[in-house]
Amino acid sequence: MAQRMTHLAEHDILASLPNRGLLDDRLEQGIALAQRFSRKLAVLFIDLDHFKDINDSIGHLIGDQLLRAVALRITPCVRSSDTVSRQGSDEFIVLLSEISHAEDAALIADKIRLAVLEPYTIASHLLHLTASIGISVYPEDGADPESLIQCADTAMHYAKENGRNRSHFFTDEMNCHTAERQLIRGDLRDALDRGEFALEYQPKVNLVSGAITGVEALIRWRHPSRGVLPPLEFIQIAEDCGLIVQIGQWVLRAACLQAQTWRAIGIRFGTMAVNISAVEFSNVRFFENVCEILEYTGLEPRYLELELTETAVMRNFDATRNVLQSLSAMGIRIAVDDFGTGYSNLSYLKRFPINTLKLDKSFVHDVPGNADIATIVRSVIHMGQSLHLQVVAEGVENVEQLKFLRAYNCAEGQGYYFSKPLHPSACQALISVAERHWVWQSSSPAVRADK
C-alpha cells in the first residue's frame, strides 16, 4: 500500500509516467552527478503540435488514449536510466542523464520526433501528430532544474514558431526573440480594433492564354511603429495565442466583400483565394463562419477558393473530410497550398474533395536548372492531370521557369514574373487591362501567338 501511495504521488496517472515532482528530484541528482564527474546532461521539452484542436474535435477520451500512445512511443527512444515525465496536458519532459556531446541530445530528439510522427489508429480514428522539441544542456544553459527546464521550454517555443515538427537547442538570443514576440503579441490584440490589417491581391494566370484565373488575398499589417509587416512575422504568433480565428474572419470577410464589389462592377477576376490557417480550420465554428460571411457579402460560393496546407488537411482525417465535403457541396473550391512541403501520404488527394494543388515555390525556384527537382515538378503536374486537379505553380519569377512549366503543361502560375501582390485598386487595373491584352513580358512567343 505504501509503495502504491508513493507511486501515485510521484506519477502522472494518465500516462503512468513520472510527474514534475519526481522529475525535479531526478534532475537535482543528475546535476549533482554530472558536476562531480564533469559530464553533461540534457533536458528535452516536448510539446505536441495543435493537440488541443484534436482534443476539442474528437473528444477528451480519445485525446487521453492518444496521449498514452504518445508516451509509449517516447519511452523506448531513451535509455532506462533516463527519465520521461509528463508535464500535464500535452507536454513531456525528458531528462537524458548521461550524454557525451550535446549532439547526442539532438539525435535522440529526432528519434522521438519521428516516433511521434507515425500515424495513430485510436477507436477507428486515423490521427496524425507532430511534436516540437526544445533542448537545453547542462552546464551550458543552467545549473539547476528550474533554469534547464525554462531554457528547454523557450527553445521548444522557438521550434514551434519555426514551423513545428522540429527540435531546437536553446540559445541566448532566444530570450530577446521571446521578448520581441511578446511585444508583437500585445500589439496584435489591438490591431483588429484599430483597423491596421489590409489585404493585397496577387493574380493567378493561365499559362497558355495569359488570362487571369483568380486572385489570392494576402494579409499585411500596417503596424503603427514597425511599418508594414508581412504575414510570416505575425501569423504564427496569432495562431499561438488564438487571435488567428478573429483575424481569419476579418480576412475572409474583407476578401469576399472585395470580390463581390468587383463582380458588381463587372471586373472578372475568376476566383478569390483566401488562406486558412490550420488553427482556424479546426475551429468548430469554421464552416458556420464561412456560410455567414458568404451570406453577409452576397458572394456566390463558386467564386471562393480556400487554401489549406497539407498539415492542416491531414490533422484530423475524419473531421476534415466532413468540413471539406460540406464546403465543397456548397460549391466552394479547395486548394492545397505549399504542396510538396508537408505530408507524404498522398491518398488524401483522392479521399478529400480537392480542386487545386499549389506547387510550393521552393520547387519552382529550382527549375529548370536542378534535374531532380525538375523531375519532381513534372511528376506533380502529371499527377495533378491524372487526378483532375488544377495545378498552380507558385513563385514563378522568370521566363525560364515559365517555359519549363508550359512545356510540361502546367495549367496555371502565380509569382513576381506576372505580378507582385497589389493594392486592390492596382489589382483591379491589372485585371481590366489583362482582359484585353497579353500583359506579361513580350518574350513569350507561344503565349503571344495564342492571343
Which residues of this protein are in contact with Mg ion, per CB under 5 A?
Answer: 275, 307, 337-338, 394
Q: Residues near 150 by Cβ (< 8 Å), separated by ≥ 6? A: 142
Rounding to the nearest 10 degrees, give the CA dihedral for residues 418, 423, 429, 430: 10
Q: Shortest approach of ligand C2E to residue 29 CB, angstroms?
A: 46
Answer whether 125's CB lies under 8 Å from 67's CB. no
Strands 271-275 and 304-309, sheet pairing? parallel
- Beta carbon nearer to ligand C2E, 296 or 416: 416
- Beta carbon nearer to ligand C2E, 93 or 217: 217
Is position 218 an interface residue for ligand C2E (rule: CB under 6 A)?
yes
- Determine how many CB atoms are found less than 10 A away from the CB of residue 176: 10
Is position 227 an interface residue for ligand C2E (rule: CB under 6 A)?
no
Residue 231 interacting entry, from Mg ion, ligand C2E, none, C-beta within 5 to 8 Å by type: ligand C2E
Is position 313 an interface residue for ligand C2E (rule: CB under 6 A)?
no
* Residues numbered 329-368 forming contacts with ligand C2E, rule: CB under 6 A: 337-338, 361
Piece of the chain touching ligand C2E by CB under 6 A; list 6-14, 141-149, 231-239, 371-379: 231-239
End-to-end CA distance of the chain: 86
Is position 59 an interface residue for ligand C2E (rule: CB under 6 A)?
no
- Residue 67 dihedral angles phi and psi, to the nearest 5°: -60, -40
- Beta carbon nearer to ligand C2E, 167 or 277: 277
Q: Shortest approach of ligand C2E to residue 239 CB, angstroms?
A: 8
- Beta carbon nearer to Mg ion, 239 or 307: 307
| Cell, residue 225 | 511603429
Q: Shortest approach of ligand C2E to residue 341 CB, angstroms?
A: 10
Q: Shortest approach of ligand C2E to residue 410 CB, angstroms?
A: 15
Is position 275 an interface residue for ligand C2E (rule: CB under 6 A)?
yes
Residue 340 interacting entry, from ligand C2E, Mg ion, none, C-beta within 5 to 8 Å by type: none
Give the Å distances, CA to CA, from 376 to 339, 367, 389: 12, 10, 16
Task: Pick the binder of ligand C2E from 139, 231, 353, 424 (CB under 6 A).
Answer: 231
- Residue 205 dihedral angles phi and psi, to the nearest 5°: -125, 140
Is position 219 an interface residue for ligand C2E (rule: CB under 6 A)?
yes
Q: Shortest approach of Mg ion to residue 338 CB, angstroms?
A: 4
Q: Is 196 exposed, middle or buried (0-12, 13-18, 19+ CB in 10 A)?
A: middle
Task: Pick the binder of ligand C2E from 421, 427, 434, 447 (CB under 6 A).
Answer: 421
Piece of the chain touching ligand C2E by CB under 6 A; list 176-184, 188-196, 288-296, 394-402: 394-402
Is position 235 an interface residue for ligand C2E (rule: CB under 6 A)?
yes
Q: Shortest approach of ligand C2E to residue 154 CB, angstroms?
A: 24
Residue of closest CB approach to ligand C2E: 415
The CA angle 397-402-408, to the nearest 5 degrees, is 140
Residue 30 interacting entry, from Mg ion, ligand C2E, none, C-beta within 5 to 8 Å by type: none
Q: Shortest approach of ligand C2E to residue 99 CB, angstroms?
A: 37
- Beta carbon nearer to ligand C2E, 115 or 245: 245
Using CB under 6 A, count the residues that bind ligand C2E.
Answer: 23
Task: Pick the binder of ligand C2E from 16, 176, 228, 416 (CB under 6 A).
Answer: 416
Residue 63 interacting entry, from Mg ion, ligand C2E, none, C-beta within 5 to 8 Å by type: none
Piece of the chain touching ligand C2E by CB under 6 A; list 16-24, 188-196, 228-236, 434-442: 228-236
The CA angle 199-203-208, to the nearest 5 degrees, is 175
What residues line the site for ligand C2E (CB under 6 A)?
202, 218-219, 230-232, 235, 248, 251, 275-277, 307, 337-338, 361, 394-397, 415-416, 421
